[in-house]
Structure 1
Amino acid sequence: MNIKQIYETVAKSDYDFLREDRHLGNNIILLGLGGSHAYGTNTESSDLDIRGCALNSKRELLTNENFEQFVNEATDTTIYSFNKLISLLINVNPNTIELLGLRPDHYLSVSGIGKELLDNAHMFLSKKAVCSFGGYANQQLRRLDNKVVRLVNQEQREQHILNSINNAYYTFPERYSSFPEDSIKLYIDKSNQEEYDTEIFMDVNLHHYPLRDYKSMWSEMNNIVKDYSKIGKRNKNAIEKNKLGKHMMHLVRLYYMCFDILEKEQIITYREKEHDLLMGIRNGKYLDSNRQPIPEFFEMVGKLEKRLEYDKENTSLPDKPDYNKINEFVMSVNERVVKEET
């Protein structure tokens, strides 16, 4: 489906909700492609995903009426409210930050305020990308079937788990009571258990620390470990439907998009440079005759994880986004809505 066909499709009655829903219509400031069309990894059978942003109305801003997003599952369309989108962008959420980095011809509609948002995309970038993108990538990896994960050796598997925990741990200081950086140390060492060559250990030195906060942190880390031992129905279905290659492709794509953010301070959704690599993964280059990932795929992921660790220490991005600039922008936009100046 080329861009002309996409415009023609969105103009049809199936998408009338974009023009008629009270939350959308003239409130839409950004409308663009999502999914494989946005990444450049689409095939002839790929569904059309539409993503966008709509201003919160004057009524919503001045009352308790809450509108966060509009979803139309039949057309794979998701439109975020402006205030909701901002809250996600602040955390460099992969599913939304990509809306600010589409190819110009992949935007179906951009209003004046939408252009302001795109022009100020850099203010959302920070080291939080390490956690958000790295976390999403590791979630993708954890969703692989148990049989798949065991294709790597046990030590590598422990490293995957530790990387996932570290991505969650990165956000703990913001969400829980503060503690000295060296109070909780996680590392891999030789194991005394028969079924393990190595395993993850922890050194904890906390004093007068809230029990409930510690319980929540421990629960998050425990859930990550448990996830690696689950065989999810979703993953079985993905393997049965030969969609594992697509799943693996998106895992790799997340890393490369994060590298652009950390190394170039740019949001690049369309993966032209890695197109052949990504499509090769999608088409089964790294699957064996039983449709299982071969060890070379996990070796690739290991190298990507090391590059992410290097970027985390060497990026010039700040630890947190420019909250003051973001708040000023949000206030400016919402003030114009209330004054009916949009």
Structure 2
Amino acid sequence: MFNFKEREETHVSKEKKQIMTIEFLKTNNFILLEAISGSRSFGLATENSDTDIRGIYYLPKEDFFGLNYIPQISNETNDVTYYEIGRFVELLQKNNPNILEVLASPEDCILQKHPLMGLLRPEDFLSKLCKDTFAGYAVSQIKKAKGLNKKILNPVEKERKSILDFCYILQNDTSVPLKKWLSDNGKIQEKCGLVSIDHTKGMFTLFYDESGSSGYRGIIQNEEANQVSVSSIPKGEQSVAYLFCNLDAYSTYCKDYKEYWKWVSERNEDRYNVNQEHGQNYDSKNMMHTIRLLQSCEHIFKTNSLNIRVDNREELLDIKAGNWSYEAVMQKAEDLIKSIEHEYAASTLPDYPDVKKTEKILIEIRENLYV
């Protein structure tokens, strides 16, 4: 039975979750680090750039030891995000690029820093795992850019094709689109009957019933059909043609259609319009950050350190402005990937971060916080 005491405890729990906001953490001095991140920390900000904030906090003692552990708090737009110290260290151990970049924030971007945060150093976490997390993510973005390039260059008409558009009539030494053949011969698909031809794929014998009295099922039952229909043909009926249905091509088209219009419905229209204006057929802002990420990865393996403030601002902003061709950006990315492979092979970084060592640092921080 749900008694008053249970209702009271539930109310308290909900109330705690409601007050566990960034403002609550700031007001009660639970912030360990607060820094400006993103383009401003990279040195790539322009007059239109947003100001992203990342931070680290620790929970009130009763919440950390109780049942109200909250690993991350963000505002509604996610441009302000704070991580609980344990979650932050966990992501550092995984060499998460975004989290490592927060730890490596330039001094002029740090708004607040607790002395205990000095115990966490990027060099204690950097490892060869960065090849997967930095370069691996960048490669996924390159593939995404290639897919975007394909979508921009090959738009899919809104009016969806039917399987009839992938059917052809064999005629002499060539083939004729089914719709054209039907039109040229004054026939309609509803009066057609198909019989599959043994030991072939997508091949059918086509019969035609001018009177419509033989009960042929037509080539398709409706415009949404995913395959052609076959009919029961009376003995002695004379075929009029042979039909080939390219089901593989139709299946590929359906996949492309779905992906394209899903992309259209979800794309950022402002960014898309900017990309259309520069006419390079790729997401220039995304590719700027992809190149930056690859350069960061290259720097890690060259120097065993992470410096997120770029030294080629103009070049990167040139990419963002769409002044580089798609081919040039792809070549730049491929050259960086080759360099990363070379530097990775020669790197003296450990294969993985020292989990025991970094966990010990976390314990030391928490012991000082929860005295």
Scaled by the length of structure 2, the TM-score of the pair is: 0.59
Query: Whose Rg is larger?
Result: 2
Is the alpha carbon distance of 1:25 and 1:276 closer, same or farther for their aligned partners in structure 2, counting shifts above 3 Å? Answer: farther
Is the alpha carbon distance of 1:236 and 1:106 closer, same or farther for their aligned partners in structure 2, counting shifts above 3 Å? Answer: closer
Is the 8 Å Cα contact of residues 246 and 281 (structure 1) preserved in structure 2? yes
1:303 is matched with 335
Of residues 86, 90, 93 in structure 1, which corresponds to 2:96? 93
1:146 is matched with 147
Is the 8 Å Cα contact of residues 127 and 318 (structure 1) preserved in structure 2? yes
1:276 is matched with 314
1:53 is matched with 56
1:81 is matched with 84
Is 1:112–2:150 an aligned residue pair? no
Deviation at 1:80, TM superposition (A): 0.7
Percent sequence identity is 27
Q: Which letter does structure 2 place at the counterpart of 1:110?
A: K
| Alignment of structure 1 residues 139-288 onto 2, 5 Å | 139-144=140-145, 146=147, 148=149, 230-231=259-260, 232-233=263-264, 234=266, 237=269, 238-242=271-275, 244-271=283-310, 273-287=311-325
Worse-matched range after superposition: 53-62 or 25-34: 53-62
Deviation at 1:230, TM superposition (A): 5.0
Is the 8 Å Cα contact of residues 31 and 108 (structure 1) preserved in structure 2? yes
Deviation at 1:149, TM superposition (A): 5.3
Is 1:313–2:314 an aligned residue pair? no
2:355 is matched with 323
Q: Give me the whole-angstrom Cα distance separating, in 1, the residues matched to 2:300 and 2:28.
A: 32
Is the alpha carbon distance of 1:311 and 1:66 closer, same or farther for their aligned partners in structure 2, counting shifts above 3 Å? Answer: same
Partner of 1:125, secondary structure, is coil
Q: Give me the whole-angstrom Cα distance separating, in 2, the residues matched to 1:96 and 1:35.
A: 11
Q: Which runs of 5+ in 2 are unaligned?
A: 1-20, 153-254, 276-281
Partner of 1:44, secondary structure, is coil
Deviation at 1:140, TM superposition (A): 1.6
Q: Per-residue CA shift, 1:14-55, capped at 9, x if unaligned? A: xxx64x324874111111111111111111011110111112
Q: Give me the whole-angstrom Cα distance separating, in 1, the residues matched to 2:316 and 2:259.
A: 27
Q: Give me the whole-angstrom Cα distance separating, in 2, the residues matched to 1:44 and 1:254.
A: 22
CA RMSD in angstroms comes to 2.7
Is 1:34–2:23 an aligned residue pair? no
Q: Give me the whole-angstrom Cα distance separating, in 1, the residues matched to 2:304 and 2:363.
A: 25
Q: Per-residue CA shift, 1:309-338, capped at 9, x if unaligned? A: 112211110001111210110111112222
Q: Give me the whole-angstrom Cα distance separating, in 1, the residues matched to 2:360 and 2:38.
A: 31
1:221 is matched with none
Partner of 1:115, secondary structure, is helix
1:333 is matched with 365
2:65 is matched with 62
Partner of 1:139, secondary structure, is helix
Scaled by the length of structure 1, the TM-score of the pair is: 0.64
Deviation at 1:284, TM superposition (A): 1.3
Q: Give me the whole-angstrom Cα distance separating, in 2, the residues matched to 1:96 and 1:257.
A: 14
Is the 8 Å Cα contact of residues 134 and 255 (structure 1) preserved in structure 2? yes
Is the 8 Å Cα contact of residues 95 and 126 (structure 2) preserved in structure 1? yes
Q: Which runs of 5+ in 1 are unaligned?
A: 1-16, 152-225, 288-293
Q: Per-residue CA shift, 1:226-271, capped at 9, x if unaligned? A: 99x9543455744334382111100100011112222111121111
Is the 8 Å Cα contact of residues 119 and 361 (structure 2) preserved in structure 1? no
Deviation at 1:150, TM superposition (A): 9.0
Q: Which letter does structure 2 place at the counterpart of 1:121?
A: P
Is the 8 Å Cα contact of residues 56 and 83 (structure 1) preserved in structure 2? no
Partner of 2:145, secondary structure, is coil
Q: Per-residue CA shift, 1:122-164, capped at 9, x if unaligned? A: 111111100001122022222226361599xxxxxxxxxxxxx
